[in-house]
Amino acid sequence: MTPPSIDAHVRLDTHPTHPSAVTATLTGAQAHIPHVGLEAADWHVVTKNTLVLARIDHEEPYWAQDAARELITLGIAVEITPRLQEAIDEEWTWANYPMHWCTRAEIREVSAAAQRIYDDIRHGHLLIHAHAHDGHTTVAVGTYLNTGKSVYLHGENHLRQIADTFDSPAQALVAFEKIHGDTMRPGPASMTDTERSATEARTSLSAKEVVPDPPLPVLDTVPAYAADAGDHDALFDAFLDAHGGWQKCRTWSDETTHAIHESQTLRLERIHEAPAHETAWTVAAYETPVSDRMWVLTATGATPAPVLQNLLDHLAYGDGWDTAVGAPLDEKTVTAATQPLSDAGWKHTVDGRWIRWTSPAGDAGVQFDAFAAQHPQPSLATWTVWAGPGPDHPTWILTASPHTPSSLLAGLSENLVHGVGTRQTHPAGHEHKTPLGTAPLATPAVVAGPPASRSR
């Protein structure tokens, strides 16, 4: 075999991370000769002796073979790897190609013309003045800086074409604005996914760094009051879907949703995106649709999902309006509301106007304000339920006015004592310590509940 007249060797292979792109690795004392030739044919230099051909028409194997023929005629040894040869020999068609009458060779000509437009824009030879969307595809207007000819471009990627020409940029812009004034934007359009992929292929030959997924958080079973807040909106939607007697109405600002019971005497207000420590829920009850409030209950954004679920269950099954206006809040009523706490051994203390029940661990509690209970204002917070590091720095708070039904409060107390939920914790070595109730939201796990040839 006659040795090549030029001391250079070119190895052509498929790109390690980008489909259809091709790499050229050059060796030999005269490797600069094929280097110059490939670069002139718009192969991109990645390293000193490595170039990449990355096109928007996915025809790199075809043009790599064309380059190989040119190099061989110059007496340069060319190696084509088996996997690249397979790509060269592969027959494929564009899916849903709009010019279906074109032969494969004609399709390649159209794509090559689109590639030249793309390269001219990429290299700064064609300056794009403005772009728009005509309802089907991207259109643009630009000027070739070397000739001064202005063009109207239609389409994207391998379908981009010059649809019209103009003698000056001003003429081109006037015509473009006349047609696309409503959607016209200055400068070129954002890169398409295909263009972005080609850019990435020209940037590096390294396989994309595989960042291991962080370990999945562990869901621990905890008391209801210590559970994650979960998805409050999902709880609200599920409640309304399950109980058809409620009418839903969202405010014009889209920040708040109201739900009104068919009796018109019980109303829910859900403030979306409320901060963890601010009121996100308000429940209000009325003796008649036009009377003043009988009682009101609020809950903050970090209130655990099991606690809210318990509250919604009671509202759904009729515990929301069983207290008459003006009914005295006496010792019997308070005892009925807190009996589950006392039975579970929660610490009971009296401090002036305040009566408190605190969990054995000190991380949750219920407080009763005897002064507010006797006040004529029905909206005063008489009951306060909290959980967190302490009553002065709670993670979440639920408040209720004097005439809130004792059965509803007893249900909440029962849930505090016996209800359970889940809280996310991170595996050892990946701790992300987060205060109770502010851990990343998770879907709540609530125990308590109501009874041919390839185409491209």
Q: Is the per-residue pLDDT at 3 higher than 60?
A: no
Mean pLDDT of the chain: 85
- Convert the pLDDT of each residue in 222-240 to its tens digit: 999 999 999 999 999 999 9
Spell out the residues 6+ positions from residue 377 whose beta carbon is closer than 8 angstroms to its own: none
- Convert the pLDDT of each residue in 140-165 to its tens digit: 999 999 999 999 999 999 999 999 99
DSSP-based helix, strand, coil % in the chain, nearest 5: 30, 30, 45
Burial of 83: CB neighbours in 10 Å, binned 0-12, 13-18, 19+: exposed
Rounded CA-CA distance 364/132 in Å is 59
Categorise residue 388: left if φ over 0, alpha if ψ from -120 to 50, beta otherwise: left
What is the SS3 assignment for 64? helix
- Convert the pLDDT of each residue in 427-456 to its tens digit: 654 444 333 333 333 333 333 333 334 455
Res 431: pLDDT: 43
CATH architecture of 9-92: 3-Layer(aba) Sandwich (3.40)
Spell out the residues 6+ positions from residue 447 whose beta carbon is closer than 8 angstroms to its own: 306, 419, 420, 421
Domain ranges for the chain: 9-92, 104-192, 220-425
Res 424: pLDDT: 85
pLDDT tier, 51 (very low <50, low <70, confident <90, very high otherwise):
very high
Nearest to 399 by CA among 262, 266, 307: 307
**How confident is the model over 273-283, as a mean pLDDT?**
92
Res 426: pLDDT: 63
Q: Is the per-residue pLDDT at 374 higher than 50?
A: yes
Please give the torsion angle defined by the CA atoms of residues 239, 240, 246 and 248, in that order, rounded to the nearest 10 degrees. 130
Per the listing, tokens 């990449």 go with 52
Res 251: pLDDT: 65
Res 455: pLDDT: 52
Burial of 170: CB neighbours in 10 Å, binned 0-12, 13-18, 19+: exposed
- Convert the pLDDT of each residue in 65-108 to its tens digit: 999 999 999 999 999 999 999 999 887 777 778 888 888 889 88
Q: Where is average pLDDT lowest: 133-137, 377-381, 402-406? A: 377-381
